[in-house]
C-alpha cells in the first residue's frame, strides 16, 4: 500500500482553516473544540514568530560578518578592527 503524500500548509492556510473549524465548533455549541482550535492557533502563531525571529537573527549575523570582513580588508593590520585599538594608537 503506497503512502499518501500530504501537502504542507502555509501559516496563513493553517490559520484560516483553524478559524473556520473554530467557528463551526462555536456554531454547534462545542466549546471544548473551539478552545482546542484557539490553542492550536496560538501554537502555530508562536512557531511562525520563532521562525521569523530566527530569520532576522540569521540576517543580522550575516550583516555583522560582512561588516567585520569589510573592516578587516580595509585595515592595514587586521588585528586592529576595534575602535578602542585605533584610539590607543593615537595616544
pLDDT (mean) for 7-27 = 88
Place of cell 478552545: 35
Does pLDDT of 66 surpass 60? yes
**SS3 string of 21-76?**
HHHHHHHCCCHHHHHHHHHHHHHHHHHHHHHHHHHHHHHHHHHHHHHHHHHHHHCC
Quick check: is 4 in a domain? Answer: no
* 3 — pLDDT class (breaks 50, 70, 90): low
Quick check: is 45 in a domain? Answer: yes
Quick check: is 24 in a domain? Answer: yes
Look at residue 90 in the predicted model and tell me its pLDDT.
Answer: 54
Domain count of the fold of the chain = 1
pTM score, whole prediction:
0.52
Quick check: is 84 in a domain? Answer: no
Quick check: is 30 in a domain? Answer: yes
Quick check: is 56 in a domain? Answer: yes
Quick check: is 2 in a domain? Answer: no
- Domain extent for 44: 11-63
Look at residue 89 in the predicted model and tell me its pLDDT.
Answer: 54
Quick check: is 73 in a domain? Answer: no
* 87 — pLDDT class (breaks 50, 70, 90): low
Amino acid at each position: 500500500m503506497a503512502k499518501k503524500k500530504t501537502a504542507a500548509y502555509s501559516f496563513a492556510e493553517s490559520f484560516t482553516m483553524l478559524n473556520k473549524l473554530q467557528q463551526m465548533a462555536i456554531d454547534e455549541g462545542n466549546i471544548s473544540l473551539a478552545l482546542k482550535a484557539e490553542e492550536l492557533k496560538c501554537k502555530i502563531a508562536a512557531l511562525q514568530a520563532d521562525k521569523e525571529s530566527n530569520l532576522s537573527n540569521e540576517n543580522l549575523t550575516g550583516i555583522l560578518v560582512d561588516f567585520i570582513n569589510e573592516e578587516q580588508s580595509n585595515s592595514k593590520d587586521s588585528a586592529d578592527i576595534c575602535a578602542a585599538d585605533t584610539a590607543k594608537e593615537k595616544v
